[in-house]
């Protein structure tokens, strides 16, 4: 086990009706004037925005609305938000929505007190030293952004997705009402489930030895997510299953599953190129295609941990080689993704063989020519082999 | 799943040599003058106290030593500490040790800014509204006090153990070096392992339905603790196993395993009477006796969750009645406690039949005549039946 620091100071307020506590919580955390960051019309239509605003009014907190954030959020909205916050003397950023609204809010939060271009942080040219406080009202579980210090934004110029992590971007509090997720369309629900599983897998697949406690926690979470996901597919109005899924999304990504171990994240990086090339593709859909492909390559070349997953999570019998055991586990994972009606291949997502050159090129442009993934070294040959399995 | 708030803002700094960061962390959290609360000579002999003090000196932080805290910590030391802090204008409390030092430190922290008797908080006569900041250097994993807002102190007058919980008592940071636990005697190590398992069981045994995620996390933790404990028994110098155990102790008790569910704690309350009557009995030893007895009673009267434990944690086959399955699981838990060389009964701890009257009487004196445990209602008849199984 490696030395580590675990710090998850976000206050999670979870359950039915908790959005009505937004104003009190904002007050408790020192807000005077709030920027409400949100996406399309669904938070308006559902009445959520009105309830949040009512709660702010009751607590005597001013607010400014800032809507129109799209999935795979882009930098132009970040610039617009920074300008608005400066103009309006806003001191607190409150995204109401899913990962896109929250990630945009975080980018605005670090951009406001910085004199240069906020991209400097995401490009590694500058280090975050200050940020406005952020808190969230979560409507789409999965991104885990409500409990993490991470943000991913798409640079419109070049359509690159770039990520940033900073403790200063961790939300002060996150309001999580599972009822708000009950009207999510089936595909969005499913994308989220895949994404939270991937957040666990990226930490689970490590070469750091002697991490039994965190392995077992991760395995327990993955089993629970799949059990509850099947209930949600059968009955989208199942509050209890929605609640279990929503909370899983948070602990999948607040750092708990990554303590004491190197984390991989190669699959996420590979997926970012997929949805980066076509912003109609949901991150979760891309992951559902890439993760089994990545695992299949690893089953051949580096099977140990994939085999452990197969045995402990999918109850595959300990018979045959690690590769055989691993492949049986991957088959079961694919069966589960099929229940979620996820795409099975890049072809299904509209990619053709010649696109692989672009994917490989962009992956290594963004991540380096040879990347020491903590589980396996990624060279262009490896990346290509995995994208080809995914095709 | 019930509505809940989960807030675990403690910064956990974990790994080899991390005690050398004490000074920097104290500075970061605003300390000027620190009270170092510790127990006997072991932190002196091991050189830990000197390293912590060196680190404080390097960071230009003043400190005052306050030693002599005993297991099952008592109120006289709390009063003494409060007086010392007031006299010396100390603004930060730093226990270096295990649960006893930390629990004493928390009592001092809430006692200092309060005009009345600190017992008012523990007796429910007053609510904690202010506390000095506390941070810990942990040497004995188990109590979980390094990541919780809880404290248990023994009232010398009457030998009652009383507990208090307050968010204001949560440590700002906790320094956790598993190397420090490698010289712990085998019995203390074992008591700690039982205690952390009990912290999970108290939350696991609930009648709150639809808590799959937290159940699975709890089960994963329990499996991991038992696996790693066996390694520690075989080789007390196994750093990796010690590290896994130490971290388990924290997440067993920082609230994660209790989200969204009612918690029981009847077994802890029953054990408090046991070690309250004889302060030579370690809390963990008492729990190793009481928990299997409690489970055996529940297997007969309310077996569902005990049977789930048996199947998911101890791989008991799903054959026979819930009671039969549950009893097989309890037998396996007893086998594990035997590996740890734990006492098997109250008799082994020196109790005789007539002591049961006293235990039952004190339990209900402290907790009420009829207590709605979240898993089973505790009447004097039930309490007696469980203590009798334990005898």
Residue B372 has pLDDT above 90, yes or no: no
| Shortest distance, CA B5 to any CA of chain A (angstroms) | 4
Which of A231-255 are b and which e, b meaning 16 or more Cβ less than 10 Å from the residue's Cβ?
bbbeebebbbbbbbbbbbbbbbbbb
What sign results for the dihedral spanned by CA atoms B24, A255, A257, B195?
positive
Stretch A64-72: mean pLDDT, rounded?
93
Q: Using a CB-CB distance cutoff of 8 angstroms, which residues of chain B are in contact with residue A11?
A: 5-7, 9
Q: Which residue, among A15, A149, A180, A212, would best test binding to B if mutated, counting the most B CBs under 10 Å from its CB?
A: A212
What's chain B's Rg over C-alpha atoms?
A: 20
Cβ atoms of A171 and A8 closer than 8 Å? no
The pLDDT confidence band at residue A16, using thresholds 50, 70 and 90, is very high
Stretch B170-193: mean pLDDT, rounded?
95
Residue B159 has pLDDT above 80, yes or no: no
Stretch A345-353: mean pLDDT, rounded?
97
DSSP B232-260: HHH-TT-HHHHHHHHHHHHHTTSSGGGTT
Give the residue from chain B lying closest to A177, CA to CA. B3
Of A3, A17, A247, which is closest to B259 when you measure between CB atoms? A247
Helix, strand, coil percent content, chain B, rounded in steps of 5: 55, 15, 35
| Among the ranges given (A65-69, A140-144, B136-140, B259-263), the one the predictor scored with the smallest mean pLDDT | A140-144
At A297-317, the pLDDT tens digits run: 999 999 999 999 999 999 999
Give the C-alpha distances (Å, rounded to integers) separating B388 from A172, B298, B354, B370.
49, 14, 11, 18
The pLDDT confidence band at residue A293, using thresholds 50, 70 and 90, is very high
Question: What is the rounded average pLDDT for all residues in chain A?
Answer: 95
B137 vs A279, residue with greater confidence: B137
Residue A4 has pLDDT above 90, yes or no: yes
At A213-263, the pLDDT tens digits run: 999 999 999 999 999 999 999 999 999 999 999 999 999 999 999 999 999
CB under 8 Å to A226, separation ≥6 — which residues? A197, A336
The pLDDT confidence band at residue A366, using thresholds 50, 70 and 90, is confident
Give the C-alpha distances (Å, rounded to integers) separating A318 from A294, A329, B45.
22, 11, 48
pLDDT at A112: 98
Q: Please indicate whether, in this complex, the C-beta atoms of B220 and A225 are within 8 angstroms of each other.
A: no
Of A7, A227, A260, which is closest to B11 when you measure between CB atoms? A7
Q: Please indicate whether, in this complex, the C-beta atoms of B18 and A9 are within 8 angstroms of each other.
A: no
| Among the ranges given (A132-141, A335-344, B149-158), the one the predictor scored with the smallest mean pLDDT | B149-158
Instruction: Please count the other Cβ atoms lying within 10 Å of the Cβ belonging to residue A171.
Output: 28
| Shortest distance, CA B315 to any CA of chain A (angstroms) | 12
The pLDDT confidence band at residue A72, using thresholds 50, 70 and 90, is confident
**What distance in Å separates the CA atoms of residue A26 and residue A30, rounded to the nearest whole number?**
6
Give the C-alpha distances (Å, rounded to integers) separating B316 from A140, A217, A292, A340, B214.
38, 21, 32, 31, 21
Give the C-alpha distances (Å, rounded to integers) separating A259 from A7, A224, A256, B137, B244.
10, 20, 6, 19, 11
**What distance in Å separates the CA atoms of residue A217 and residue A211, rounded to the nearest whole number?**
10
pLDDT at B76: 96
**What distance in Å separates the CA atoms of residue B161 and residue B275, rounded to the nearest whole number?**
9
pTM: 0.95
* Predicted ipTM of the assembly: 0.94
The pLDDT confidence band at residue B143, using thresholds 50, 70 and 90, is confident
**What distance in Å separates the CA atoms of residue A329 and residue A335, rounded to the nearest whole number?**
10
Q: Please indicate whether, in this complex, the C-beta atoms of A227 and B212 are within 8 angstroms of each other.
A: yes
From the list A388, A329, A220, the residue with the least C-alpha distance to B312 is A220
Which of A370-381 are b and which e, b meaning 16 or more Cβ less than 10 Å from the residue's Cβ?
ebebbbbebeee
| Shortest distance, CA A12 to any CA of chain B (angstroms) | 5
């Amino acid at each position: 086990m490696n030395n580590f620091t675990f710090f998850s100071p976000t206050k999670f307020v979870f359950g039915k009706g908790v959005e009505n506590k937004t104003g009190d919580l904002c007050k408790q955390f020192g807000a005077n004037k709030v920027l409400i960051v949100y996406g399309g019309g669904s938070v308006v239509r559902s009445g959520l925005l009105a309830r949040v605003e009512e709660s702010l009014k009751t607590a005597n907190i001013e607010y400014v609305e800032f809507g129109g954030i799209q999935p795979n959020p882009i930098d132009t909205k970040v610039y617009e938000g920074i300008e608005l916050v400066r103009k309006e003397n806003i001191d607190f950023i409150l995204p109401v929505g899913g990962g896109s609204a929250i990630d945009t809010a975080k980018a605005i939060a670090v951009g406001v007190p910085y004199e240069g271009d906020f991209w400097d942080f995401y490009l590694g040219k500058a280090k975050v030293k200050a940020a406005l406080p952020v808190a969230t009202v979560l409507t789409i579980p999965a991104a885990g952004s409500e409990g993490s210090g991470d943000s991913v934004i798409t640079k419109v110029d070049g359509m690159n997705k770039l990520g940033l992590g900073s403790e200063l971007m961790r939300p002060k509090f996150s309001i999580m009402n599972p009822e708000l997720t009950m009207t999510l369309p089936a595909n969005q629900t499913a994308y989220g489930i895949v994404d939270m599983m991937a957040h666990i897998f990226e930490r689970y697949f490590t070469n750091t030895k002697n991490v039994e406690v965190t392995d077992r926690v991760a395995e327990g979470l993955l089993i629970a997510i799949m059990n509850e996901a099947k209930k949600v597919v059968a009955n989208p109005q199942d509050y209890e299953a929605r609640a279990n899924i929503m909370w899983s999304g948070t602990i999948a990504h607040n750092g708990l599953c990554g303590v004491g171990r190197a984390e991989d994240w190669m699959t996420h990086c590979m997926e970012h190129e997929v949805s980066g090339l076509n912003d109609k593709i949901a991150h979760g859909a891309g992951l559902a295609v890439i993760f089994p492909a990545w695992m299949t390559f690893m089953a051949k070349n580096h099977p140990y941990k994939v085999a452990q997953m197969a045995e402990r999570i999918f109850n595959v019998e300990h018979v045959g080689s690690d590769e055989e055991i691993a492949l049986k586990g991957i088959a079961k994972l694919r069966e589960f993704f099929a229940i979620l009606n996820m795409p099975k291949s890049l072809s299904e997502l509209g990619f053709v063989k010649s696109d692989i050159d672009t994917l490989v090129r962009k992956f290594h442009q963004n991540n380096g020519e040879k990347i020491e993934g903590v589980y396996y070294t990624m060279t262009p040959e490896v990346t290509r082999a995995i994208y080809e399995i995914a095709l």
